[in-house]
Every structure is written in structure tokens, then in C-alpha cells.
Amino acid sequence: MEQNLINLWKYEALSQVLSALSENAEIRDVLIFKGALILNRRLGTDRLSLDIDSNLDTDFSLQVPDRSDQKSFLETHIPLAVSRYFEKQSPVRFEVSRVKVDLKPRVEHPKGWNAFQVKITLIDHQLAGVRGLPALTIDVAAPETLTEDSIDEIQWNGSTIRAYTLERIAGEKARAFLSTLPSYREKMKKPGEAIRVKDLYDLTRILENKPITDETFWATAGKEFQLACESRYIDCRGGISFKESWSETKAAFENESIIPRGIDFKTAEEALDSIVSLWEQQGVIPFEFALPT
């Protein structure tokens, strides 16, 4: 299969998997969903998503603090939820071949930021002659501090799931971009990684839906940005922090194959500038969070 067809298949299959998870009460209590699938629903738009993003619920992590027990929970309930959902299809299209849950990182994170990556391999009976279909990924991040503005319930395929609000997603997109820039990598002694330019693209999409004149929305998004940064000790000195390594950001944005051509770099830069300028006016930034001693 060509790569664009593979991506379309993954997007369709992932949507089905999220529908399966949404019908499972145990999963609904433990995972809070975010990422591109949720952003699309919030915006009423459609952009390819190649994984499912989620966070562990804080209450669950307190009740089940041991990583191996958390892993066992996911290993039990995710295959069960997905298999039951697919078995109800008529005709049955998908079948679960394998579910693998990995620890991320493999050893205990020094700051407790323990996560999981779930790989689901499916059999697609509509593509019986196609071999080597890619595994689907569910990323399960460590719990984060959330407020009543961070999450709310949405309907997904007739079921109710907890998901990040658009304000929280906007704040997380800004944080995720900063987390890949040199200053933070140096602060945390992290190895280099690709600049997350797709988050600039998504921030621009959000701004198109929620114009900068909606100061209430962006004030809440700013508070969520600050809260998200605090949980990972990310500093923001203002516009200067976002423009660090800006030439590299421009090159990465213009060469990123998964970014649709509907938003160019100049538009994304102007969107970022307007958001950051408002946050500076509102007193959201600058801020700094020292590492614990």
C-alpha cells in the first residue's frame, strides 16, 4: 500500500479503536483523551491522526501506584474492549491480532513521569490480501494537574468520554512546542529531538476557530498553558522563548510532510505572535519554574 493509503487506513482504524474504548466503562474511568482526534471533534474538522493520545487519570494512579499493576490493567482491558467492539460488527471487518503494552521509559522516570505505549495489531478482513498492516499506537501519558477548565465530557459514537477542552489543547500545543527547543532540552539534559512544528499548525487552526478577540477563551488557554508548563518545569520568557531556533523551526515547518498546505509558515508565525502578545498583555507570561532540588 502507498503511504497515503496506509495513513488513511490508520486514521479509520484508530477512529474505530477509540469508539471501542469509549464503550468500556473501566477505560473511560482511567483514560482522559486528547490529541488530534479530539482536536478534530472540538473544531468540527478532519485532519489525519496517526495515533490516539491520552493521559492516565490522577485518581487511578493514586489508587494503583505500581507501574506493573497499571500495565496489567491496560493489558487486560484494552484488548477486551477492542475485541468486544469489533465482534459486534456485522459483517466483522477488524479482528485483534495482538496488543502489546510497553513502559515508557523502561525504567522508573526520575521525576515520576511514567507513561505507556500501547501497540495494537489488527487483521482487516476487507484487505485480506494485504500483508504487514501497521500497528496502531495509543500513547498513555503520565497524569497531570488538571482543572475544571481542562477537561469535559464529549460524545463519541454514542458513548461519553472525558477529553481535553479546546482551551487545554491550545495550552498543551504551546507547551509541546517549547519542550522541543534547546533551552528546555539543556535544562532537563534531554537529547535533541525534532521541533514539534505541527503544534504551531494546530495552534493556527485553533485561532481560526477562536479569534484573538475572544479574550476569555485565550485567557483560559493561557492559564492552561502555564499549568501544563509548571508540571514539566518549562520556562517561558515570552516571545523570545518561542522564537528560539526560529530558522530551524521555519525549515522544519516547510518540510513537514504531514502538515497540509492550507496554512503556510507566515500564517502560523502571525498566529503565534498574536497569541503570545495577548498572553503577555494578560500577564500569563513570562514565568519560570525551578527544578526541584
CATH number of 3-164: 3.10.450.620
Owner of C-alpha cell 525549515: 251
Cα angle 185, 138, 264 (rounded to 5 degrees) comes to 60
Sequence ranges of the domains in the chain = 3-164, 166-281
Query: pLDDT digit string (tens) for 204-228?
Result: 999 999 999 999 999 999 999 999 9
- Segment holding 226, helix H or strand E: helix 215-231
Owner of C-alpha cell 505507556: 116
Q: What span, in angstroms and rounded, lies between the C-alpha atoms of 120 and 96?
A: 7
Instruction: Say what the pLDDT of residue 129 is.
Output: 76
Taken in order 268, 273, 276, 279, the sign of the CA dihedral is negative
Q: How far is CA 283 from its chain centroid?
A: 26
Query: pLDDT digit string (tens) for 147-195?
Result: 999 999 999 988 899 999 999 999 999 999 999 999 999 999 887 778 9
Cα angle 64, 69, 72 (rounded to 5 degrees) comes to 130
Query: pLDDT digit string (tens) for 5-62?
Result: 888 899 999 999 999 999 999 999 999 999 999 999 999 987 778 899 999 999 999 9
Output b/e per residue, 267-282; b: 16+ Cβ within 10 A.
Answer: ebbebbeebbebbeee
Query: pLDDT digit string (tens) for 241-278?
Result: 999 999 999 999 999 887 877 899 999 999 999 999 99
Cα angle 232, 235, 238 (rounded to 5 degrees) comes to 140
CB 94 within 8 A of CB 124: yes
Phi then psi for residue 37, to 5 deg, are -60, -40
Local confidence band at 112 (pLDDT 50, 70, 90 cut-offs): confident
- Segment holding 94, helix H or strand E: strand 94-104
Determine the straight-line distance between the first and last CA of the chain, rounded to whole angstroms.
52
